[in-house]
Amino acid sequence: MHKLVILLLTLEPILCAKDEFPADFLFGIASSAYQIEGGHDANGKGASIWDHYLRLNPALVRDSTNGDTACDSYNKYEEDVSLLADLGVDFYRFSISWSRILPTGYSNKINPDGVRYYNELIDGLVARNIRPMVAMYHWDLPKPLQDLGGWTNPLLSDLFEDYAKILFENFGDRVKLWITVNTNWMGYGDAQFPPLLNQSGIGEYLYVKNVLLAHAKVYHLYNREFRSSQNGQIGITVDGRWYEPATPRDQEAAERTRQFYIGTVANPIFGDGDFPKLVKERVDELSQEEGFSRSRLPKFSREEVEYVKGTYDFFGINIYTTFLTKDVEIEDGSEPSFGKDLKAELHHDPKWPESNSFWLKVVPWGCRRVLNWIKESYGNPPIFITENGFSDRGELDDVDRIDYFESYLNAVLEAIHEDGVQVRGYAAWSLLDNFEWTSGYSERFGLHHVDFADPGRRRTAKSSARWYKDVIERRRLDAPSDTLKTEL
């Protein structure tokens, strides 16, 4: 009898630990410059592609709005820092506007007000014991650089390195977590998203290769000139939706989709230094059939493979949802496109709970599966979940958002404790209701409501903010109900 009691007492901390986050796990919250800052032309800031294209064509956005003022965080950053401090987060993941630091995109003209703004934000965070996690680029490319072709131009990797050096010199003494690029090639293969290139099957791959070279240049720059004195970490963020086979016959289609959407960015850095073999073979073959003299997928030279491989301290991933993936037939002779290369149809299970975004369904088991896929594919690198969030219509009592966070964080705990995935931190998206790209202000992701009819952009904490604060304080979740189970 006594032995049984001793055994149960010994096991109890182990069982409880499955509901607890590791002692060194970091809780954070995220935002991005164009979505919250406003001050689009304030005090020397240059125009980004979002400033330019939304002014040219307001109809690109569902409600014909823009980010000219957004949450006015350019002027209200001190209030935002207070909100962060009240939540008790360990880190704040935000992005720097390239155009606010370098109005033309080039390093010969530094905007003093941009340096002032981010210094004051960073100082405010550090004073509250909040670690800045800074993304150098989150989609808002300076317009003059887009005039050169944007990320389709190899020169951009050099210009990005110049920009990064200025960031390290001005902020690196306090910023120890850097994200080079929050990757997204939308707008390179379509005409729905700036920069509207509409070069499907070509633009996406040029974007990826040049982003990867830019990332690697910044990583090597940091190693050469800053790591020994600043002692920070460098990562990149990948879009990490999970792609589940629609039927047992669609296993290959699901893996092909993972390699095209995740592997094209991740494999060169975290894998063997090159695009995934499956991606290379498929695009090379189709390009030849389509009459191209060379593959639409650009090649990495042997030197570039070695230069890009291993350029990371952590793997950043944005996790929101899951798609069912079905193999589809493609008509011979059709025009080249990313969809043709993919040869897959993506859809949702109608039974999955919905959000206020057509693409975002609540599928927590997909979070666990994508984390495990990264572990198995790339040797279990340290992972930061740099975005995870749920959209609604701005309700203050946002119980659906709380359910979403609880289910996804439970999946993260299972990945850590049961699967051994090295998840080091988690950033909820987002601190504030903000400008949600081409959806404008019609979709709300914030833990704090923003009144966009109020010139002062009044912020109000939602129920989810109080819930997240409690989780951070206790560093654990309540035992999951059967509906939250996410076993593989």
| Residues involved in catalysis | 387
As a whole number of angstroms, the distance between CA 14 and CA 8 comes to: 10
Q: Are 35 and 434 in contact (CB under 8 A)?
A: yes
Count of CB atoms within 10 A of residue 261's CB? 21
| C-beta contacts of 335-338 below 8 A and 24+ residues apart | 336/200, 336/201, 336/202, 336/286, 336/287, 336/290, 336/292, 336/296, 337/189, 337/200, 337/201, 338/189, 338/200, 338/201, 338/204, 338/260
| 234 within 8 A of 218, measured Cβ to Cβ | yes
**Using an 8 Å Cβ cutoff, are 30 and 430 in contact?**
yes
Pairing of strands 322-327, 344-347: antiparallel
Which two tokens mark 469?
């604060």
At 89, the amino acid letter reads V
C-alpha–C-alpha distance, residues 394 and 443, integer Å: 8
As a three-state string, the secondary structure of 109-157 is CCCHHHHHHHHHHHHHHHHCCCEEEEEEECCCCEHHHHCCCHHHCCHHH
Numbers of helices and strands, H then E, in the chain:
18, 13
The two structure tokens encoding residue 375: 């572990």
